[in-house]
Amino acid sequence: MIAVRGYEGRRVGVLGMGRSGLATARALAAGQATPVCWDDGEAGRAAAEAEGFAVEDLAREGPWRKGMGLLVVSPGVPHLYPAPHPAVAQAQAAGAQLDNDVGLFFRGMAMTDAEARVVAVTGSNGKSTTTALIAHILRGAGRPVQMGGNIGRGVLDLDPLADGETVVLELSSYQLELARALAPDVAVFLNLSPDHLDRHGGEGGYFAAKRRLFELGAPSACVIGVDDRHGRFLAAQSREADPEGARLIEIASGARLRGPGWSVFMNRAFLTERRRGEQAAALDLRACPGLIGAHNHQNACAAYGAARVLGLGPKAIEAGLRSFPGLPHRLQLLGERNGVRFVNDSKATNADAAEKALLSFERVRWIAGGVPKEGGIAPLAPLFGRVAKAYLIGQAAQDFAAALGATPHELCGDLATAVARAATEAEPGDVVLLSPACASFDQFRDFEARGEAFAALAQAVVAEPDGGQTDGEEGPR
């Protein structure tokens, strides 16, 4: 745990008692502050009380009359759009400041003597894989490393920082938009696609939250994906502050970069580094089974760039790329039966993420649906030719069926039915792909629970004895 200093003997409000909220309360208490906790849910309040923390309704005026000057807001709690939480409104009316655990983490870094470095990764898609890949590469090269933020451990639940250590953080827009301090050594921006627009008041607000990592933090080095217009804009701004090209690495999976600066991009199957107009390295990503698909190629370019500015050489990075096993629920190969592969991409909760999955395979038995996101799957129409058949589940099934039009599809209702139908109809060379382009909350707790359910169903199919073949005769399919 990282103790939060600077609030000794003071009451500090903590709103939201999920993973980050409880970790924040513990960190404040370790720094001799008195956390005053609140959660709208009874279970969250009970969790705080079980650890001995004071619980008061922060949406009422009473707690703020006692001189609290800070409210630490958990990422899932809105502070502006679509409307401020009542506790946030009370805190602002009392003149209190707002912050979150990420802001407290970076403020605490300024108070420590440890010579540690921080890499912060943001973007719409690929954050978790890139964060885990950077940590994996560093660990494989013998560097001490911790990983946390929006993946693994909360930022204040990490161990106290040590000399020579690197902390790799995945940071979402929710975490970035409210942090009062952001000071990474290396900031990574991958991409931006429409998501969480109600929370940020539109796409501009969403991008503004991401940009704070580069504007407020003034990182020593920037690794920026330029495959979309938001990244190109951000890179252009960063380039103005870096005329020598020493602190900006531009990355791309969909274009060969030929500028005079520092770049990492895909040249067919080869990750290529260029610096000062010359090629510096080229790595064959076909030897990296945990990094399937163009979007994972972008993740690999980003991780390579971050590792380079941290001082690693190409050979050490290549070893890490080759040994990376991938993350669950992100184009995770579960197994193969009779030439049919089963791939779990449950993390694909919007059309942009599902596009990356569809682009990774030639012939797909596509399981899609759930709670739809704005825009549905209409943007994926150019890829419907890759879909041998779609198996639709959840709330979005009827709308997705309309969008698919003449593309073969079937309303399956639930995941078990979809897997059974896809497995029965799949032919050698097909990929049975769960890439829902939807949130999971209509039928599952979260995308992880959905992916675990799919994995269990798919692995049961893969494990069927003799692949359905008996004495040369075709068995049931």
Examine the domain organization and report whether 119 and 231 are in the same domain: yes
Given 297, 323, 349, which residue is the final one in a domain? 323
Residue of 79, 196, 297, 329 marked active site: 196
Which domain CATH number covers 240?
Answer: 3.40.1190.10
Quote the domain boundaries for residue 87. Answer: 11-99
The pLDDT of residue 243? 66
**Annotated binding-site residue? 127:** yes
Q: Angle of helix 229-240 relative to helix 203-215, nearest 10 degrees?
A: 30
Examine the domain organization and report whether 410 and 440 are in the same domain: yes
Q: Kindly compute the dihedral angle of the four CA atoms of residues 189, 145, 219, 75, in this order, to the nearest 10 degrees.
A: 60
**Annotated binding-site residue? 124:** yes
Residue whose C-alpha is closest to residue 337's, from 475, 453, 465, 450 = 465
The pLDDT of residue 20? 92
The tens place of each residue's pLDDT in the chain, 477 residues long, gives 899 999 999 999 999 999 899 999 999 999 999 999 999 999 999 999 999 999 999 999 999 998 899 999 999 899 999 999 999 999 999 999 999 999 999 998 888 888 999 999 999 888 999 999 999 999 999 999 999 999 989 999 999 999 999 999 999 999 999 999 999 999 999 999 877 778 888 899 999 999 999 988 789 999 999 999 999 999 998 887 776 667 899 999 989 998 889 999 999 999 999 998 899 999 999 999 889 888 899 999 999 999 999 999 999 999 999 999 888 998 888 999 999 999 999 999 999 889 989 999 999 999 999 999 888 999 999 999 999 999 999 999 999 999 999 999 999 999 999 999 999 999 999 999 999 999 999 999 999 999 999 999 999 999 988 644 333 333 332
Q: Please state the pTM of the whole predicted model.
A: 0.83
In a domain, 5, yes or no: no
**Annotated binding-site residue? 238:** no
Given 300, 323, 346, which residue is the final one in a domain? 323
Examine the domain organization and report whether 66 and 145 are in the same domain: no
* β pairing state of 473-474 and 469-470: antiparallel
Identify whether 344 is a catalytic site residue.
no
In a domain, 275, yes or no: yes
Examine the domain organization and report whether 121 and 41 are in the same domain: no
pLDDT in tens, 171-215: 999 999 999 999 999 999 999 987 777 888 889 999 999 999 998
Burial of 169 (0-12, 13-18, 19+ CB in 10 A): buried
Residue of 79, 85, 127, 136 marked active site: 127
Peptide bond into 75 cis (omega under 30): no
In a domain, 1, yes or no: no
In a domain, 477, yes or no: no
Residue of 79, 85, 150, 191 marked active site: 150
Examine the domain organization and report whether 90 and 107 are in the same domain: no
Q: Distances in Å between the alpha carbon of 74 and those of 148, 171, 411?
A: 15, 13, 38
Examine the domain organization and report whether 28 and 83 are in the same domain: yes
**Annotated binding-site residue? 451:** no
**Annotated binding-site residue? 123:** yes
> Maximum distance among all alpha carbons in the chain?
81
Examine the domain organization and report whether 94 and 18 are in the same domain: yes
Examine the domain organization and report whether 427 and 447 are in the same domain: yes
Q: Angle of helix 19-30 relative to helix 101-109, nearest 10 degrees?
A: 40
The pLDDT of residue 300? 97
Q: Which residue has the tokens 């990094």?
A: 291
In a domain, 475, yes or no: no
Examine the domain organization and report whether 317 and 462 are in the same domain: no
**Domain count of the fold of the chain:** 3
Residues facing residue 149 across a β-bridge: 170
Which domain CATH number covers 439?
Answer: 3.90.190.20
In a domain, 4, yes or no: no
Examine the domain organization and report whether 438 and 340 are in the same domain: yes
In a domain, 240, yes or no: yes
The pLDDT of residue 221? 95
Element (H, E) at 388: strand 387-393
Identify whether 127 is a catalytic site residue.
yes
Question: Which amino acid, 374?
Answer: E
Identify whether 356 is a catalytic site residue.
no
The pLDDT of residue 297? 93
Q: Which residue has the tokens 């629970």?
A: 449
Residue whose C-alpha is closest to residue 360's, from 289, 265, 410, 301 = 289
Given 67, 99, 131, which residue is the final one in a domain? 99
The pLDDT of residue 477? 28
In a domain, 2, yes or no: no
Give the chain's end-to-end CA distance (angstroms, integer): 53
Examine the domain organization and report whether 369 and 464 are in the same domain: yes
Which domain CATH number covers 66?
Answer: 3.40.50.720
Degrees, nearest 5: CA angle 340-345-351: 115
Residue whose C-alpha is closest to residue 321's, from 292, 357, 285 = 285
Q: Name the region of 40 (left: φ>0; alpha: ψ -120 to 50; beta: rest).
A: alpha
Examine the domain organization and report whether 55 and 167 are in the same domain: no
Q: Cα–Cα distance between 47 and 39 in angstroms, integer?
A: 10
